[in-house]
Structure 1
Amino acid sequence: MSIDKCVTGQNIQPIPSQESFRPNDINKEEFYIKHSQLIEEVRNLCKNGPFKTLDMVDALRKLCINHHFKEEITSILKMFHTQMPYVDDYTDAQTLCDVSNRFRILRQEGYIVSADVFERFKQKDGNFKQEMAQDVKGLVALYEASQLSIEAEHILEEAAEFSSHALKDENLPFLDQDETTMVRDTLEHSYQRTPSTFKVKKFINLFFGSAISDLAKLELAIAQHLHRTEVEEISKWWKDLGLADEFKLARNQPMHWYLWPMAGITDPCLSEPRIELTKVIALVYIIDDIFDVYGKLDELVILTEAVQRWDRNTLAQLPYHLRICIQALYDVTHEISDKIYKNHGFNPIEFLKQAWTSLCEAFLVEAKWFASGYMPTAEDYFKNGIISSGANVVIVHMFFLLGGGTSKESANTINDNQGISSCLGKILRLWDDLGSAKDEDQDGNDGSYVTYYMKENEGSSVESAREHVMEMINNTWKQLNKECLSPSPFSATFINACLNLARMIPLMYNYDENHTLPLLKDYISCMF
């Protein structure tokens, strides 16, 4: 049975305002009793035959309540994946929507599923059947499935082109306003490339009247309360650290920094990793601004050496404002290492130090380029930019904060398997360089892949260069999709967090014509 058939309300109702379902002191006990009851009610649904479906798994993920039902979800996924080689799952009775959804859901959960399942929807000439161009539900599902493609899966590339073309407004004049909005939303914000919490309110409305919707509503209220509390803690930490007073021109954006871990680590139980990772991100931004705005080249060389040596005695050579920044880096990194040791039994300080060293070395390379007037090749800039994006520093810290390294052997996993980190660095660097507006109060010395690409390709327009960059981003997503398939050396929690960070990047850098980030503003209003 499809989960959407379990919805008791026929008409989509607006979600109550945050205040109306936020846990407060008056009804806190009643709130959490209801929350626990709904968890058990949904758990029983997951064990019930008609509801043990991939649609149920999909709904739990879309509503961001899947962390409560890991065992039940694993059982359902294994059942469907095991059945596939032995039964004819793709008979003529299976619609394009059915096949596309099954493919997408299993792939999203890390299962290897052949893209050949879509061959049955092709004509003898190798093109997709034209009659499918009127199947809006199937086209939407096909497009979503195509976003899970990996390299060399040409049929999924064709599926993406076919479905996106067929879903354009002029090709579907018969759609009503709600259907048109749904189609545009899919093309602009596919599920695979959008933070899992970005559409949660829409999905709560979609499943209105069901137990899973009621649970998701309470879960969102809990998350909103946690986010406000965690931002308050981060803001106090940042104020007490004192760096904002010393670096007036640097970015002073605790809320902005917190959005990354908030989107990446969605389980409400993982508050400490979110807070500690925000501290790491804050230091990445401030050190970036030092290299970009504040430091003279000779000072930046000494600063980098201080990070390489990780020796407080080397700080005396630095000006006061740079000295206190690196002192803060030392202190925060050791505090995080101690917390990881306390929680997981392994102190990753050497791994964290190496990550910071690599970042500062990459920053220094860019500073030397600018100081000398040297114009690097696009390839050299990009290779260094993957590191200077800061993605690796964040990924390494997140790996240990989520318990990924509990011994020297398991800790080496993050260094021995850098595919995910590299993909995030590529996507972040390219989206950052595509940004059509500078950060507020920034007059720094950043380069741009677009600039270097156009320099090497005379006659290339800004638009063609941007199209080239978007193609690079799409290809990197294919690499990332492959890295996230099973078997993987990483936990599902870590993989999902990395995917959510990658999904968050466009929201952070995709400026509109007014040099603002309206999608990010909407996201913030939803999650707080």
Structure 2
Amino acid sequence: MGIEHHFQEEIQSILQKEFEQSACFLKYQNHHDISLCFRLLRQEGYHVSADVFKRFKNNDDGTFGLNLSQDVNGLIGLYEASQLGVEGEFILDEVANFSGEHLNACLANNDSSCDEARIIRETLKYPYHKNLASCKAKSFINNFKGINGWGRSTLQELANMDYSITKEIHQHELAQVSRWWKSLGLAEELKLLRDQPLKWYTWPMAVLQDPRMSQQRIELAKCISLVYVIDDIFDVYGTIEELTLFTQVVNRWELSAMVDLPEYMRSTYKALYNTINSIGNNIYKIYGQNPTQNLRNTWANLCNAFLKEAKWFASGVVPSTNEYLKNGVVSSGVGTILVHMFYILGLGVNSNIHLEDISSMSSSGAMILRLWDDLGSAKDENQEGKDGSYIECYMKENKDASIELAREHVIKLIEDEWKNLNKEHLHLMSPSSRSFSKASLNSARMVPLMYSYDDNQSLPILQEYIKSMLYGDLSM
């Protein structure tokens, strides 16, 4: 319902008790309640065993019982729980296949306009774990009937009040980001740059959902803006010689090095240099540690990866799938942003978590974005291939593969990276790293909104999300 930040201590206390006593698995017998308990514990970082689902199998042949196939609520619960699996949990793969198959069968036998069919479709397309909670809030409130004495009107009133306050906070933050972006003057100087501060701000708005993280969202939006700007410099403006020089200057990280750049690159480099140094100094003032060296290293790595892609394109080289993904993980910009978020959230200071501890989670998030982007660009954006495409690389390596087979392969890779994200989430859910782990998951959840293009090369899901979060309401 979007109000969990008010009840974090209570939520943790209850789930800790449930986990220690395994109470929910003992007192509940139906499929939906056991699945819900499993999902709630897993999503908060409790490593409960997936073997709990073996009780639903027939002893004779090891298949799931036919009576389960008629329990729509149970199937929905099983499907939702299966999304939190990690590699090697074959029982959850079975749960996903079984519940997905029977939910689709239910759809085929149902009136497509009825409430049950609507809920099934939403479950299959937008399972909770792989979608932003803020996207699910309205439909959940609509279906909510009240529980344990809390009437629908009471909780809905709280949700509506909180939503209105949060919406005003987001509008204020967007105004600050827009003023900062305008003050750089880059959009006026470089007419071909994307001028999309609203879209850029939407990333941190979705990733850091606690209303109290206002300054963190603003700082992160600046970083995201600069990733887009530099991406455009490499894709639209620079020659290989100019891009090589720009990359060298970013690696040096000296303002005096700016004189070596072509005129049109100087303002971009100056904006990057000043913004990142300022963010590093602000982190130092708050936490007593200045991470600017690590921050600048991520920008050097990003430009190195952009340059490699530019050279591939300029020379007509189609790299191997492994080469492409290894570089694409960096050029996605996800790693750059997550390193900044790591320090902006105060991690690495008086805590047991270090930068290398987030590398696997960062890599999986980057892989999901890169692969989703390539699915979209290959089918919807009709791009000329300046960034390359995993699908292009895959089809070169697999001469007999069709575009449909290549896309199926990419979807499977994305599912595998989600399993790795789930594993890392369980490893990182200490009190000090909980906010970072949840934000990293949100960044992966945000990817489909950013890359689900329609036939008009628009992003209708993203547009609806922005409208809802900044200008809409929760009233039914």
User: Normalization by structure 1: what TM-score?
Assistant: 0.84
The partner residue of 2:42 within 98, 107, 117 is 107
SS for the counterpart of 1:485 is: helix
Which residue does 1:507 correspond to in 2?
449
Is residue 372 from structure 1 mapped to residue 319 from structure 2 by the alignment? Answer: no
Q: Answer yes or no: is the 8 Å Cα contact 1:169–1:180 preserved in 2.
A: no
Higher mean Cα deviation, 119-128 or 278-287? 119-128
Distance apart, 1:458 and its partner CA = 0.8
**Structure 2: which amino acid aligns with 1:70?**
Q
Which residue does 1:308 correspond to in 2?
251
**Structure 2: which amino acid aligns with 1:116?**
D
Higher mean Cα deviation, 199-208 or 238-247? 199-208
SS for the counterpart of 1:138 is: helix
**Structure 1: which amino acid aligns with 2:454?**
D
Deviations 1:28-58 (A, max 9, x none): xxxxxxxxxxxxxxxxxxxxxxxxxxxxxxx
Deviations 1:101-121 (A, max 9, x none): 011000000000101000011
CA distance in 1, matches of 2:236, 2:359: 30
Deviations 1:457-489 (A, max 9, x none): 012111110010000000000000000004546
Q: Answer yes or no: is the 8 Å Cα contact 2:110–2:117 preserved in 1.
A: no
Deviations 1:46-74 (A, max 9, x none): xxxxxxxxxxxxxxxxx121112221111
Which residue does 1:58 correspond to in 2?
none
Distance apart, 1:212 and its partner CA = 2.5
> Taking structure 1 as reference, are residues 486 and 366 closer, same or farther at Cα in structure 2, changes over 3 Å only?
closer
Which residue does 2:135 correspond to in 1?
198
Q: Answer yes or no: is the 8 Å Cα contact 1:204–1:217 preserved in 2.
A: no
SS for the counterpart of 1:333 is: helix
Deviations 1:397-447 (A, max 9, x none): 11111111326x86x712343111111110010001111479989767110
Deviations 1:204-253 (A, max 9, x none): 33337343222111111111111111111111111111111122112110
Deviations 1:347-390 (A, max 9, x none): 11011011111111111111111122222111100110000000
Q: Answer yes or no: is the 8 Å Cα contact 1:369–1:376 preserved in 2.
A: yes
Distance apart, 1:170 and its partner CA = 5.5
Is residue 80 from structure 1 mapped to residue 18 from structure 2 by the alignment? Answer: yes
CA distance in 2, matches of 1:440, 1:283: 22
Which residue does 1:163 correspond to in 2?
99
CA distance in 2, matches of 1:237, 1:417: 30
> Taking structure 1 as reference, are residues 428 and 149 closer, same or farther at Cα in structure 2, changes over 3 Å only?
same
**Structure 2: which amino acid aligns with 1:157?**
D
Is residue 134 from structure 1 mapped to residue 77 from structure 2 by the alignment? Answer: no
The partner residue of 2:144 within 207, 213, 225 is 207
**Structure 2: which amino acid aligns with 1:167?**
L
Q: Answer yes or no: is the 8 Å Cα contact 2:251–2:300 preserved in 1.
A: yes
Q: Answer yes or no: is the 8 Å Cα contact 2:25–2:37 preserved in 1.
A: no
CA distance in 2, matches of 1:361, 1:476: 24
CA distance in 2, matches of 1:74, 1:393: 31
Distance apart, 1:127 and its partner CA = 1.4
CA distance in 2, matches of 1:460, 1:439: 20
> Taking structure 1 as reference, are residues 376 and 481 closer, same or farther at Cα in structure 2, changes over 3 Å only?
same
Q: Percent identity?
A: 49
> Taking structure 1 as reference, are residues 526 and 169 closer, same or farther at Cα in structure 2, changes over 3 Å only?
farther
**Structure 1: which amino acid aligns with 2:128?**
Y
> Taking structure 1 as reference, are residues 269 and 295 closer, same or farther at Cα in structure 2, changes over 3 Å only?
same
CA distance in 1, matches of 2:130, 2:107: 24
Which residue does 2:362 correspond to in 1?
421
The partner residue of 1:218 within 138, 154, 161 is 161
Which residue does 1:122 correspond to in 2?
57
**Alignment of structure 1 residues 127-526 onto 2, 5 Å:** 127-169=63-105, 173-174=109-110, 177-207=114-144, 209-406=152-349, 413-436=354-377, 445-486=386-427, 488=429, 491-526=433-468
Unaligned regions of 5+ residues in structure 1, if any? 1-62
CA distance in 2, matches of 1:295, 1:487: 40
SS for the counterpart of 2:134 is: coil
Q: Answer yes or no: is the 8 Å Cα contact 2:378–2:389 preserved in 1.
A: no
Unaligned regions of 5+ residues in structure 2, if any? 146-151, 471-476
CA distance in 1, matches of 2:275, 2:26: 54
Higher mean Cα deviation, 430-439 or 124-133? 430-439
**Structure 1: which amino acid aligns with 2:76?**
V
Q: Answer yes or no: is the 8 Å Cα contact 1:111–1:486 preserved in 2.
A: no
SS for the counterpart of 2:135 is: coil
Alignment RMSD: 2.0
User: Normalization by structure 2: what TM-score?
Assistant: 0.93
Count of matched residue positions in the alignment of Structure 1 and Structure 2:
461
Which residue does 1:68 correspond to in 2?
6
> Taking structure 1 as reference, are residues 115 and 416 closer, same or farther at Cα in structure 2, changes over 3 Å only?
closer
Q: Answer yes or no: is the 8 Å Cα contact 1:359–1:390 preserved in 2.
A: yes
> Taking structure 1 as reference, are residues 438 and 406 closer, same or farther at Cα in structure 2, changes over 3 Å only?
farther
CA distance in 2, matches of 1:140, 1:476: 23
SS for the counterpart of 1:250 is: coil
> Taking structure 1 as reference, are residues 441 and 156 closer, same or farther at Cα in structure 2, changes over 3 Å only?
closer
SS for the counterpart of 2:364 is: helix
Q: Answer yes or no: is the 8 Å Cα contact 1:90–1:117 preserved in 2.
A: no
Distance apart, 1:90 and its partner CA = 4.0
Distance apart, 1:506 and its partner CA = 0.6
Which residue does 1:17 correspond to in 2?
none
CA distance in 2, matches of 1:166, 1:357: 49
CA distance in 2, matches of 1:437, 1:196: 29
CA distance in 2, matches of 1:358, 1:282: 17
CA distance in 2, matches of 1:381, 1:251: 25
Higher mean Cα deviation, 334-343 or 140-149? 334-343
> Taking structure 1 as reference, are residues 441 and 145 closer, same or farther at Cα in structure 2, changes over 3 Å only?
closer
Higher mean Cα deviation, 511-520 or 102-111? 511-520
CA distance in 1, matches of 2:253, 2:380: 30
Q: Answer yes or no: is the 8 Å Cα contact 1:136–1:167 preserved in 2.
A: yes
**Structure 2: which amino acid aligns with 1:158?**
E
Q: Answer yes or no: is the 8 Å Cα contact 1:64–1:216 preserved in 2.
A: yes
Deviations 1:143-173 (A, max 9, x none): 0000000000001001111111101156652
Q: Answer yes or no: is the 8 Å Cα contact 1:293–1:444 preserved in 2.
A: no
CA distance in 2, matches of 1:185, 1:403: 36
